[in-house]
Amino acid sequence: MSATLMRTVPALRGALRSGVAKPAAALASTSFVRGKATLPDLPYDYGALEPYISGKIMELHHKKHHQTYVTGLNSALETIASGDPVAAAKAAPLLNFHGGGHINHSLFWENLAPASREGGGEPDGALAKSIKEDFGGFDTLRKQVNTALAGIQGSGWAWLVKDKNSGTLSVVTRPNQDPVSGPYVPLLGIDAWEHAYYLQYENRKAEYFDAIWNVINWKTVASRFEKA
Amino acid sequence: MSADTYSLPKLPYAYNALEPSISAQIMELHHSKHHQTYVTNLNKALQSLKAASSAGDIAAEIALQPAIKFNGGGHINHSLFWQNLAPSSSADAKPDAAPALMADIDKTWGSYDKFKSAFSTALLGIQGSGWGWLVKEAQTGLRIVTTKDQDPVVGGEVPIFGVDMWEHAYYLQYLNGKAAYVDNIWNVINWKVAEQRYHGGAKDAFSVLKASM
Ligand SMILES: [Fe+2]
Ligand SMILES: [Fe+2]
Protein backbone atom coordinates (compact mmCIF):
# COMPACT_ATOMS: atom_id res chain seq x y z
CA MET A 1 0.00 0.00 0.00
CA SER A 2 1.38 3.35 -0.97
CA ALA A 3 1.57 6.40 1.24
CA THR A 4 -0.74 8.10 -1.23
CA LEU A 5 -3.47 5.61 -0.47
CA MET A 6 -3.02 6.16 3.23
CA ARG A 7 -3.54 9.86 2.74
CA THR A 8 -6.48 9.55 0.39
CA VAL A 9 -8.68 7.27 2.40
CA PRO A 10 -8.60 8.31 6.02
CA ALA A 11 -11.66 6.26 6.89
CA LEU A 12 -9.93 3.04 6.02
CA ARG A 13 -6.47 4.02 7.05
CA GLY A 14 -6.61 3.02 10.67
CA ALA A 15 -8.26 -0.29 10.08
CA LEU A 16 -6.00 -1.27 7.20
CA ARG A 17 -2.93 -0.21 9.11
CA SER A 18 -3.86 -2.14 12.22
CA GLY A 19 -4.45 -5.15 9.99
CA VAL A 20 -0.91 -4.91 8.72
CA ALA A 21 0.89 -3.80 11.81
CA LYS A 22 -0.86 -5.79 14.51
CA PRO A 23 -1.62 -9.19 13.04
CA ALA A 24 -2.18 -10.68 16.46
CA ALA A 25 -4.42 -7.92 17.81
CA ALA A 26 -8.12 -7.20 17.49
CA LEU A 27 -8.07 -7.49 13.71
CA ALA A 28 -6.06 -10.68 13.80
CA SER A 29 -7.73 -12.14 10.79
CA THR A 30 -7.83 -9.04 8.59
CA SER A 31 -4.80 -10.63 7.06
CA PHE A 32 -2.54 -9.14 4.43
CA VAL A 33 0.27 -10.85 2.62
CA ARG A 34 2.70 -8.40 1.05
CA GLY A 35 0.09 -5.63 0.96
CA LYS A 36 -2.60 -7.92 -0.45
CA ALA A 37 -5.71 -8.71 1.52
CA THR A 38 -6.40 -12.42 1.96
CA LEU A 39 -9.43 -14.31 3.20
CA PRO A 40 -8.88 -15.15 6.87
CA ASP A 41 -9.61 -18.66 8.13
CA LEU A 42 -12.66 -18.98 10.33
CA PRO A 43 -11.78 -19.73 13.97
CA TYR A 44 -14.39 -22.57 13.93
CA ASP A 45 -16.04 -24.98 11.47
CA TYR A 46 -18.80 -23.86 9.12
CA GLY A 47 -21.31 -26.00 11.02
CA ALA A 48 -20.14 -24.87 14.46
CA LEU A 49 -22.72 -22.12 14.91
CA GLU A 50 -25.71 -24.37 14.27
CA PRO A 51 -28.58 -24.34 14.93
CA TYR A 52 -28.39 -20.55 15.18
CA ILE A 53 -26.57 -19.98 11.88
CA SER A 54 -26.60 -22.85 9.41
CA GLY A 55 -23.42 -24.38 8.03
CA LYS A 56 -24.54 -23.56 4.51
CA ILE A 57 -24.94 -19.86 5.32
CA MET A 58 -21.54 -19.77 7.02
CA GLU A 59 -19.82 -21.48 4.11
CA LEU A 60 -21.30 -19.21 1.43
CA HIS A 61 -20.89 -16.14 3.58
CA HIS A 62 -17.21 -16.80 4.23
CA LYS A 63 -16.04 -18.56 1.08
CA LYS A 64 -18.07 -16.56 -1.46
CA HIS A 65 -19.25 -13.23 -0.05
CA HIS A 66 -16.20 -12.38 2.04
CA GLN A 67 -13.91 -13.66 -0.73
CA THR A 68 -15.62 -11.30 -3.19
CA TYR A 69 -14.84 -8.35 -0.91
CA VAL A 70 -11.21 -9.46 -0.61
CA THR A 71 -10.91 -9.77 -4.39
CA GLY A 72 -12.65 -6.43 -4.93
CA LEU A 73 -10.44 -4.73 -2.34
CA ASN A 74 -7.25 -6.01 -3.97
CA SER A 75 -8.39 -4.93 -7.39
CA ALA A 76 -9.30 -1.44 -6.09
CA LEU A 77 -5.91 -1.20 -4.35
CA GLU A 78 -4.18 -2.17 -7.58
CA THR A 79 -6.07 0.46 -9.55
CA ILE A 80 -5.21 3.12 -7.00
CA ALA A 81 -1.56 2.08 -6.90
CA SER A 82 -1.33 2.24 -10.69
CA GLY A 83 -0.89 5.99 -10.43
CA ASP A 84 -3.70 7.09 -12.76
CA PRO A 85 -5.55 9.71 -10.70
CA VAL A 86 -8.79 9.46 -12.69
CA ALA A 87 -8.91 5.69 -12.33
CA ALA A 88 -7.97 6.01 -8.66
CA ALA A 89 -10.77 8.48 -7.97
CA LYS A 90 -13.22 6.14 -9.68
CA ALA A 91 -11.97 3.25 -7.57
CA ALA A 92 -12.41 5.09 -4.26
CA PRO A 93 -16.06 4.01 -3.74
CA LEU A 94 -15.03 0.43 -4.56
CA LEU A 95 -12.23 0.67 -2.01
CA ASN A 96 -14.70 1.86 0.61
CA PHE A 97 -17.20 -0.87 -0.26
CA HIS A 98 -14.88 -3.84 -0.61
CA GLY A 99 -12.43 -2.65 2.03
CA GLY A 100 -15.34 -2.13 4.39
CA GLY A 101 -16.71 -5.56 3.50
CA HIS A 102 -13.35 -7.16 4.28
CA ILE A 103 -12.94 -5.32 7.58
CA ASN A 104 -16.52 -5.87 8.73
CA HIS A 105 -16.61 -9.58 7.98
CA SER A 106 -13.17 -10.15 9.52
CA LEU A 107 -14.39 -8.54 12.74
CA PHE A 108 -17.69 -10.43 12.53
CA TRP A 109 -16.23 -13.95 12.33
CA GLU A 110 -14.17 -13.27 15.41
CA ASN A 111 -17.04 -11.96 17.45
CA LEU A 112 -18.93 -15.21 16.94
CA ALA A 113 -18.26 -18.56 18.62
CA PRO A 114 -20.07 -21.89 18.97
CA ALA A 115 -22.69 -21.91 21.72
CA SER A 116 -20.98 -25.03 23.12
CA ARG A 117 -17.76 -23.06 23.59
CA GLU A 118 -17.34 -19.32 24.22
CA GLY A 119 -20.57 -18.38 22.43
CA GLY A 120 -23.56 -16.81 24.15
CA GLY A 121 -24.12 -15.88 27.74
CA GLU A 122 -23.40 -12.43 29.06
CA PRO A 123 -20.29 -10.33 29.30
CA ASP A 124 -18.60 -9.91 32.67
CA GLY A 125 -15.90 -7.79 34.27
CA ALA A 126 -15.12 -4.26 33.12
CA LEU A 127 -17.16 -4.65 29.94
CA ALA A 128 -20.27 -5.67 31.89
CA LYS A 129 -19.75 -2.71 34.19
CA SER A 130 -19.51 -0.32 31.25
CA ILE A 131 -22.62 -1.81 29.66
CA LYS A 132 -24.47 -1.28 32.92
CA GLU A 133 -23.34 2.33 33.11
CA ASP A 134 -24.07 3.22 29.49
CA PHE A 135 -27.19 1.15 28.80
CA GLY A 136 -28.56 0.32 32.23
CA GLY A 137 -27.92 -3.36 31.69
CA PHE A 138 -27.29 -6.19 29.28
CA ASP A 139 -30.95 -6.68 28.37
CA THR A 140 -31.30 -3.06 27.39
CA LEU A 141 -28.18 -3.29 25.24
CA ARG A 142 -29.58 -6.36 23.51
CA LYS A 143 -32.89 -4.63 22.92
CA GLN A 144 -31.18 -1.54 21.54
CA VAL A 145 -29.04 -3.57 19.16
CA ASN A 146 -32.06 -5.55 17.93
CA THR A 147 -34.08 -2.37 17.43
CA ALA A 148 -31.18 -0.85 15.51
CA LEU A 149 -30.87 -3.99 13.36
CA ALA A 150 -34.59 -4.07 12.62
CA GLY A 151 -34.51 -0.40 11.63
CA ILE A 152 -31.86 -0.79 8.93
CA GLN A 153 -33.53 0.12 5.64
CA GLY A 154 -31.66 -2.03 3.16
CA SER A 155 -28.30 -3.69 3.71
CA GLY A 156 -26.04 -2.79 6.59
CA TRP A 157 -24.59 -3.54 9.98
CA ALA A 158 -25.25 -2.69 13.60
CA TRP A 159 -22.28 -2.20 15.93
CA LEU A 160 -21.60 -1.88 19.59
CA VAL A 161 -18.85 0.74 19.61
CA LYS A 162 -16.65 2.48 22.12
CA ASP A 163 -15.92 6.16 21.77
CA LYS A 164 -12.13 6.46 21.97
CA ASN A 165 -12.31 9.90 23.54
CA SER A 166 -15.07 9.56 26.09
CA GLY A 167 -14.86 5.82 26.61
CA THR A 168 -18.65 5.64 26.25
CA LEU A 169 -20.35 2.65 24.66
CA SER A 170 -23.10 3.10 22.11
CA VAL A 171 -24.97 1.32 19.33
CA VAL A 172 -24.62 2.59 15.76
CA THR A 173 -25.67 1.34 12.35
CA ARG A 174 -23.80 1.64 9.07
CA PRO A 175 -25.30 1.23 5.59
CA ASN A 176 -24.00 -1.38 3.15
CA GLN A 177 -20.32 -2.04 3.98
CA ASP A 178 -19.38 1.34 5.41
CA PRO A 179 -16.89 0.57 8.15
CA VAL A 180 -17.13 2.10 11.62
CA SER A 181 -14.74 5.02 11.77
CA GLY A 182 -14.01 8.34 13.46
CA PRO A 183 -13.88 8.21 17.24
CA TYR A 184 -15.65 4.85 17.29
CA VAL A 185 -13.89 1.55 17.87
CA PRO A 186 -15.98 -1.44 16.76
CA LEU A 187 -16.45 -4.00 19.53
CA LEU A 188 -19.27 -6.16 18.22
CA GLY A 189 -20.84 -6.16 14.77
CA ILE A 190 -23.90 -7.92 13.44
CA ASP A 191 -24.36 -8.39 9.71
CA ALA A 192 -27.90 -7.42 8.69
CA TRP A 193 -27.48 -8.12 4.99
CA GLU A 194 -30.04 -10.63 3.77
CA HIS A 195 -27.27 -13.06 2.73
CA ALA A 196 -26.41 -13.39 6.46
CA TYR A 197 -29.68 -15.15 7.29
CA TYR A 198 -31.96 -15.64 4.31
CA LEU A 199 -31.32 -19.34 3.56
CA GLN A 200 -32.36 -20.21 7.10
CA TYR A 201 -34.67 -17.45 8.29
CA GLU A 202 -36.05 -16.13 4.97
CA ASN A 203 -38.00 -12.91 5.61
CA ARG A 204 -38.15 -13.57 9.37
CA LYS A 205 -35.13 -11.48 10.18
CA ALA A 206 -36.21 -10.78 13.76
CA GLU A 207 -35.67 -14.49 14.49
CA TYR A 208 -32.09 -14.23 13.23
CA PHE A 209 -31.49 -11.12 15.33
CA ASP A 210 -32.75 -13.02 18.39
CA ALA A 211 -30.79 -16.19 17.64
CA ILE A 212 -27.42 -14.59 17.08
CA TRP A 213 -27.04 -13.72 20.78
CA ASN A 214 -26.48 -17.45 21.40
CA VAL A 215 -23.22 -17.34 19.47
CA ILE A 216 -21.69 -14.00 20.48
CA ASN A 217 -18.11 -14.36 21.65
CA TRP A 218 -17.95 -11.98 24.61
CA LYS A 219 -14.28 -12.77 25.16
CA THR A 220 -13.46 -11.10 21.85
CA VAL A 221 -15.73 -8.17 22.61
CA ALA A 222 -14.10 -7.73 26.03
CA SER A 223 -10.61 -7.86 24.57
CA ARG A 224 -11.49 -5.21 21.95
CA PHE A 225 -13.06 -3.14 24.71
CA GLU A 226 -9.91 -3.28 26.82
CA LYS A 227 -7.62 -2.36 23.92
CA ALA A 228 -9.80 0.48 22.65
CA MET B 1 -61.01 0.91 3.72
CA SER B 2 -60.05 4.53 4.14
CA ALA B 3 -58.39 6.48 1.34
CA ASP B 4 -54.92 6.10 2.77
CA THR B 5 -55.03 2.36 3.27
CA TYR B 6 -53.09 0.41 0.70
CA SER B 7 -53.39 -3.28 0.07
CA LEU B 8 -51.24 -5.91 -1.54
CA PRO B 9 -51.98 -6.09 -5.28
CA LYS B 10 -52.62 -9.53 -6.77
CA LEU B 11 -49.89 -10.92 -9.00
CA PRO B 12 -50.92 -11.01 -12.67
CA TYR B 13 -49.63 -14.61 -12.88
CA ALA B 14 -49.11 -17.65 -10.64
CA TYR B 15 -46.16 -17.86 -8.24
CA ASN B 16 -44.52 -20.54 -10.40
CA ALA B 17 -45.16 -18.76 -13.71
CA LEU B 18 -41.69 -17.23 -13.93
CA GLU B 19 -39.81 -20.51 -13.47
CA PRO B 20 -37.07 -21.38 -14.18
CA SER B 21 -35.89 -17.75 -14.18
CA ILE B 22 -37.38 -17.00 -10.76
CA SER B 23 -38.50 -19.86 -8.52
CA ALA B 24 -42.01 -20.12 -7.13
CA GLN B 25 -40.63 -20.11 -3.59
CA ILE B 26 -38.93 -16.76 -4.17
CA MET B 27 -42.03 -15.29 -5.80
CA GLU B 28 -44.30 -16.40 -2.99
CA LEU B 29 -42.09 -15.07 -0.18
CA HIS B 30 -41.32 -11.92 -2.12
CA HIS B 31 -44.95 -11.12 -2.79
CA SER B 32 -46.83 -12.50 0.22
CA LYS B 33 -44.20 -11.62 2.86
CA HIS B 34 -41.82 -8.87 1.72
CA HIS B 35 -44.26 -6.79 -0.29
CA GLN B 36 -46.95 -7.33 2.35
CA THR B 37 -44.60 -5.98 5.03
CA TYR B 38 -44.04 -2.79 3.05
CA VAL B 39 -47.79 -2.36 2.65
CA THR B 40 -48.46 -3.00 6.35
CA ASN B 41 -45.75 -0.63 7.51
CA LEU B 42 -46.75 2.04 5.00
CA ASN B 43 -50.31 1.97 6.30
CA LYS B 44 -49.05 2.18 9.88
CA ALA B 45 -46.83 5.14 9.05
CA LEU B 46 -49.64 6.93 7.20
CA GLN B 47 -51.98 6.38 10.11
CA SER B 48 -49.43 7.85 12.51
CA LEU B 49 -48.95 10.74 10.11
CA LYS B 50 -52.65 11.44 10.16
CA ALA B 51 -52.67 11.44 13.95
CA ALA B 52 -49.59 13.68 14.09
CA SER B 53 -51.09 16.02 11.54
CA SER B 54 -54.40 16.39 13.33
CA ALA B 55 -52.52 16.95 16.58
CA GLY B 56 -50.45 19.65 14.86
CA ASP B 57 -47.28 17.80 15.82
CA ILE B 58 -44.88 18.78 13.07
CA ALA B 59 -41.88 17.15 14.73
CA ALA B 60 -43.68 13.80 14.65
CA GLU B 61 -44.72 14.40 11.04
CA ILE B 62 -41.13 14.96 10.01
CA ALA B 63 -39.94 11.96 11.99
CA LEU B 64 -42.31 9.76 9.97
CA GLN B 65 -40.90 10.75 6.58
CA PRO B 66 -38.16 8.07 6.36
CA ALA B 67 -40.67 5.30 7.17
CA ILE B 68 -43.09 6.63 4.57
CA LYS B 69 -40.38 6.90 1.94
CA PHE B 70 -38.99 3.44 2.68
CA ASN B 71 -42.26 1.54 2.94
CA GLY B 72 -44.07 3.62 0.35
CA GLY B 73 -41.11 3.13 -1.97
CA GLY B 74 -41.17 -0.59 -1.29
CA HIS B 75 -44.86 -0.73 -2.15
CA ILE B 76 -44.44 1.34 -5.33
CA ASN B 77 -41.35 -0.51 -6.54
CA HIS B 78 -42.74 -3.99 -6.03
CA SER B 79 -46.11 -3.08 -7.55
CA LEU B 80 -44.36 -1.84 -10.69
CA PHE B 81 -41.98 -4.83 -10.69
CA TRP B 82 -44.68 -7.54 -10.66
CA GLN B 83 -46.35 -5.87 -13.61
CA ASN B 84 -43.19 -5.55 -15.64
CA LEU B 85 -42.51 -9.29 -15.43
CA ALA B 86 -44.19 -12.02 -17.51
CA PRO B 87 -43.80 -15.77 -18.08
CA SER B 88 -41.03 -16.33 -20.62
CA SER B 89 -43.34 -18.38 -22.85
CA SER B 90 -45.81 -15.51 -23.25
CA ALA B 91 -45.78 -13.13 -26.22
CA ASP B 92 -45.44 -10.23 -23.77
CA ALA B 93 -41.97 -11.44 -22.80
CA LYS B 94 -40.63 -10.95 -26.33
CA PRO B 95 -38.92 -7.66 -27.16
CA ASP B 96 -41.13 -7.60 -30.31
CA ALA B 97 -43.97 -6.60 -28.00
CA ALA B 98 -42.31 -3.18 -27.58
CA PRO B 99 -41.65 -1.86 -31.11
CA ALA B 100 -41.53 1.88 -30.33
CA LEU B 101 -39.52 1.41 -27.13
CA MET B 102 -37.11 -0.93 -28.88
CA ALA B 103 -36.54 1.62 -31.65
CA ASP B 104 -35.70 4.21 -29.01
CA ILE B 105 -33.39 1.75 -27.24
CA ASP B 106 -31.58 1.12 -30.55
CA LYS B 107 -31.27 4.85 -31.07
CA THR B 108 -30.01 5.47 -27.54
CA TRP B 109 -27.64 2.53 -26.97
CA GLY B 110 -26.90 1.34 -30.53
CA SER B 111 -28.58 -2.03 -30.09
CA TYR B 112 -30.71 -4.08 -27.73
CA ASP B 113 -27.65 -6.13 -26.76
CA LYS B 114 -25.66 -3.04 -25.87
CA PHE B 115 -28.55 -1.76 -23.78
CA LYS B 116 -28.85 -5.12 -22.03
CA SER B 117 -25.19 -5.13 -21.22
CA ALA B 118 -25.29 -1.53 -19.92
CA PHE B 119 -28.34 -2.29 -17.77
CA SER B 120 -26.82 -5.50 -16.42
CA THR B 121 -23.59 -3.69 -15.52
CA ALA B 122 -25.60 -1.05 -13.66
CA LEU B 123 -27.49 -3.74 -11.74
CA LEU B 124 -24.32 -5.57 -10.73
CA GLY B 125 -22.69 -2.30 -9.64
CA ILE B 126 -25.26 -1.62 -6.93
CA GLN B 127 -23.51 -1.66 -3.55
CA GLY B 128 -26.02 -3.07 -1.11
CA SER B 129 -29.77 -3.23 -1.62
CA GLY B 130 -31.42 -1.36 -4.44
CA TRP B 131 -33.08 -1.33 -7.83
CA GLY B 132 -32.19 -0.73 -11.45
CA TRP B 133 -34.68 1.11 -13.66
CA LEU B 134 -35.07 2.01 -17.27
CA VAL B 135 -36.78 5.40 -17.16
CA LYS B 136 -38.00 7.94 -19.69
CA GLU B 137 -37.46 11.61 -19.04
CA ALA B 138 -39.00 14.44 -21.00
CA GLN B 139 -35.66 16.20 -21.48
CA THR B 140 -33.12 13.42 -21.73
CA GLY B 141 -35.12 10.53 -23.14
CA LEU B 142 -34.33 6.98 -22.04
CA ARG B 143 -31.90 6.48 -19.19
CA ILE B 144 -30.72 3.74 -16.84
CA VAL B 145 -30.81 4.69 -13.18
CA THR B 146 -30.10 2.78 -9.99
CA THR B 147 -31.71 3.61 -6.68
CA LYS B 148 -30.72 2.55 -3.20
CA ASP B 149 -32.81 0.52 -0.78
CA GLN B 150 -36.46 1.31 -1.59
CA ASP B 151 -36.03 4.83 -2.94
CA PRO B 152 -38.75 5.11 -5.59
CA VAL B 153 -38.46 6.85 -8.96
CA VAL B 154 -41.02 9.55 -8.31
CA GLY B 155 -39.16 12.58 -9.64
CA GLY B 156 -41.35 12.95 -12.74
CA GLU B 157 -39.52 10.36 -14.84
CA VAL B 158 -41.58 7.48 -16.24
CA PRO B 159 -40.48 4.08 -14.91
CA ILE B 160 -40.45 1.70 -17.91
CA PHE B 161 -39.30 -1.35 -15.99
CA GLY B 162 -37.40 -2.10 -12.82
CA VAL B 163 -35.32 -4.98 -11.50
CA ASP B 164 -35.13 -5.71 -7.77
CA MET B 165 -31.52 -6.24 -6.70
CA TRP B 166 -32.19 -6.90 -3.03
CA GLU B 167 -30.76 -10.28 -2.07
CA HIS B 168 -34.25 -11.55 -1.18
CA ALA B 169 -35.12 -11.27 -4.88
CA TYR B 170 -32.75 -14.07 -5.90
CA TYR B 171 -30.87 -15.60 -2.98
CA LEU B 172 -32.89 -18.81 -2.43
CA GLN B 173 -32.25 -19.78 -6.05
CA TYR B 174 -29.03 -18.08 -7.11
CA LEU B 175 -27.24 -17.71 -3.74
CA ASN B 176 -24.30 -15.35 -4.21
CA GLY B 177 -24.50 -15.76 -8.00
CA LYS B 178 -26.36 -12.56 -8.73
CA ALA B 179 -24.90 -12.31 -12.25
CA ALA B 180 -26.91 -15.40 -13.22
CA TYR B 181 -30.08 -13.81 -11.82
CA VAL B 182 -29.42 -10.72 -13.90
CA ASP B 183 -28.84 -12.88 -17.01
CA ASN B 184 -32.10 -14.71 -16.49
CA ILE B 185 -34.28 -11.73 -15.65
CA TRP B 186 -34.15 -10.77 -19.34
CA ASN B 187 -36.25 -13.87 -20.11
CA VAL B 188 -39.16 -12.58 -18.06
CA ILE B 189 -39.34 -8.85 -18.77
CA ASN B 190 -42.85 -7.86 -19.80
CA TRP B 191 -42.16 -5.81 -22.93
CA LYS B 192 -45.83 -5.19 -23.54
CA VAL B 193 -46.14 -3.39 -20.22
CA ALA B 194 -42.82 -1.63 -20.91
CA GLU B 195 -44.20 -0.36 -24.23
CA GLN B 196 -47.39 0.87 -22.55
CA ARG B 197 -45.42 2.74 -19.91
CA TYR B 198 -43.16 4.16 -22.61
CA HIS B 199 -46.17 5.69 -24.35
CA GLY B 200 -47.72 6.99 -21.15
CA GLY B 201 -46.76 9.41 -18.39
CA ALA B 202 -45.59 8.81 -14.85
CA LYS B 203 -49.20 9.01 -13.67
CA ASP B 204 -50.20 6.11 -15.90
CA ALA B 205 -47.38 3.94 -14.60
CA PHE B 206 -48.42 4.64 -11.02
CA SER B 207 -52.10 3.84 -11.68
CA VAL B 208 -51.43 0.32 -10.41
CA LEU B 209 -51.16 1.82 -6.93
CA LYS B 210 -54.59 3.41 -7.10
CA ALA B 211 -55.97 0.04 -8.09
CA SER B 212 -54.63 -1.56 -4.91
CA MET B 213 -56.09 0.94 -2.45
FE1 LIG C 1 -22.14 -10.38 5.02
FE1 LIG D 1 -37.97 -6.98 -3.19
Residues 82-121, chain B: which have Cβ within 8 Å of A?
none
Residues B186 and B95 both lie in one domain: yes
Cα A149 to chain center, whole Å?
Answer: 14
Closest CA to B98 of B1, B197, B211, B9: B197
Whether pLDDT at B30 is above 90: yes
* Pairwise CA distance, residues A97 & B127, whole Å: 7
Residue of B nearest to A204 (CA): B33
Residue A66 marked as a ligand binder: no
* Neighbouring residues of the ion ligand 1, judged by CB less than 5 Å: A 191, 193, 196
Nearest CA in chain A to B41: A151
Q: Do B129 and A198 touch (CB under 8 A)?
A: no
Q: Is A98 annotated as a binding residue?
A: no
How far from A111 is each of A45, A57, B81, CA to CA, in Å?
Answer: 14, 16, 38
pLDDT tens-digit readout, B135-192: 999 888 999 999 999 999 988 899 999 999 999 999 999 999 999 999 999 999 999 9
The answer to whether position B16 is within a domain reads: no
Q: Which of A176, A194, A198 sits opposite B127 (nearest CB)?
A: A176
Give CA separation, A226 vs A113, A164, A186, A197, in Å. Answer: 19, 11, 12, 30
Q: Tell me which CATH homologous superfamily contains domain A3-39+54-111.
A: Fe,Mn superoxide dismutase (SOD) domain (1.10.287.990)
**CATH label of the domain that carries residue B57:** 1.10.287.990
The tens digit of pLDDT for each residue in A73-90 reads: 999 999 999 989 999 999
B149 inside 8 A of chain A by CB = yes
- What's the confidence (pLDDT) of residue A29? 52
Residue of A nearest to B71 (CA): A153
What's the CATH code, domain A125-227?
3.55.40.20
The pTM of the full predicted model, rounded to 2 decimals, is 0.91
Cβ-Cβ pairs closer than 8 A, A with B, add up to: 53
**Residue B116's domain spans which residues?**
91-212
What's the total number of domains in chain B? 2
